[in-house]
């Protein structure tokens, strides 16, 4: 992971993003997700990040 991102992205968001990326790299096309599934997964990852940001105190 890029050191600049460490501590700025929620671990569960990184995990979901990685799962999506790995599923897109399946050798067999039939095993790859549809674009709708990819978009849904990325939107879900964004929600995870936004929820994590809402739970952490902001620096003053």
Residue 1's SS3 state is coil
Q: Which domain holds residue 24?
A: 11-52
pLDDT at residue 60 in the model: 43
Tally of domains within the chain: 1
Residue 3 lies in a domain: no
Q: What share of the chain is helix, strand, coil (3-state, %, to 5)?
A: 65, 0, 35
pLDDT band for 1, please (50, 70, 90 cuts): confident
Closest Cα partner for 12 from 45, 37, 56, 39?
45
Residue 25 domain-assigned (yes or no): yes
- pTM confidence score: 0.78
* Res 57 pLDDT > 80: no
The answer as to whether 5 is a domain residue is no
Answer yes or no: is 2 within a domain: no
The answer to whether residue 6 sits within a structural domain is: no
Q: Is the pLDDT of residue 23 over 50?
A: yes
For residues 55 and 30, give the distance between their C-alpha atoms in angstroms, rounded to a whole number: 38
Residue 43 has pLDDT above 80, yes or no: yes
In a domain, 59, yes or no: no
């Amino acid at each position: 992971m890029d050191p600049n991102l460490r501590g700025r992205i929620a671990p569960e968001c990184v995990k979901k993003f990685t799962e999506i990326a790995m599923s897109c790299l399946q050798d067999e096309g039939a095993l790859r997700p549809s674009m709708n599934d990819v978009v849904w997964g990325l939107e879900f990852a964004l929600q995870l990040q936004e929820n994590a940001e809402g739970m952490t105190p902001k620096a003053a």
